[in-house]
Amino acid sequence: MALWLLDSQRLGQTKSVKRIAGRMLKQPAREGVVEAQSRLGRLLCTDCDSQRDRRIGFELLRQAARAGDCQAQLELGQLYCQPQYRELTKARHWLEQAAAQGSAEARRVLQGLPGKRRVSTLR
């Protein structure tokens, strides 16, 4: 239900629906459900003003990325590219993981990173 709410074109954009979906994802994320960790992590990193919530979201994304969630790997790689984190080695690692799973967006972001490009031959 939470994923349906977030994926809904109309409903998924409202703060109150995001809050409800976040509450619904909290327990499954705590229990290690990778998709819940990924979605709640993205929600907390992008839609919360609290530094604490963003830290929790970042950790949830890291857990989901380590478990192989392509979207979490992409999101984590993109976060590591941002000025407040700016860890390009970690960004490259997670973006390469996502690209290896077929993420065209990860390949696009990798093209813009300085340094070596190991995944440019992937299709």
What residue numbers bound the domain in which 17 lies? 1-67
State which of 46, 67, 88 marks the end of a domain.
67
State which of 21, 36, 67 marks the end of a domain.
67
DSSP alpha helix (H) spans, the chain = 2-7, 15-30, 34-47, 51-66, 70-81, 88-100, 104-112
Confidence of residue 7 (pLDDT cuts 50, 70, 90): low
> Among 5, 6, 60, 70, which Cα is nearest to 33's?
60
- Measured in degrees and rounded to the nearest 5, phi and psi for residue 83 equal -55, -35
Amino acid at 104: A
Q: Longest C-alpha distance within the chain, in Å?
A: 43
Looking at the structure, do residues 50 and 81 belong to the same domain, yes or no? Answer: no
Q: Please state the pTM of the whole predicted model.
A: 0.82
Structure tokens at 29: 């994320």
How many distinct structural domains can be found in the chain? 2
For residue 67, the 8-state DSSP code is: T
State which of 27, 43, 67 marks the end of a domain.
67
Place of tokens 């857990």: 63
Looking at the structure, do residues 103 and 81 belong to the same domain, yes or no? Answer: yes
Residues 22-69 pLDDT 10s: 888 999 999 999 999 999 999 999 888 899 999 999 999 999 999 999
Place of tokens 């074109």: 9
Chain-centre distance of CA 48, in angstroms? 14
Residues 60-96 pLDDT 10s: 999 999 999 999 999 999 999 998 888 999 999 999 9
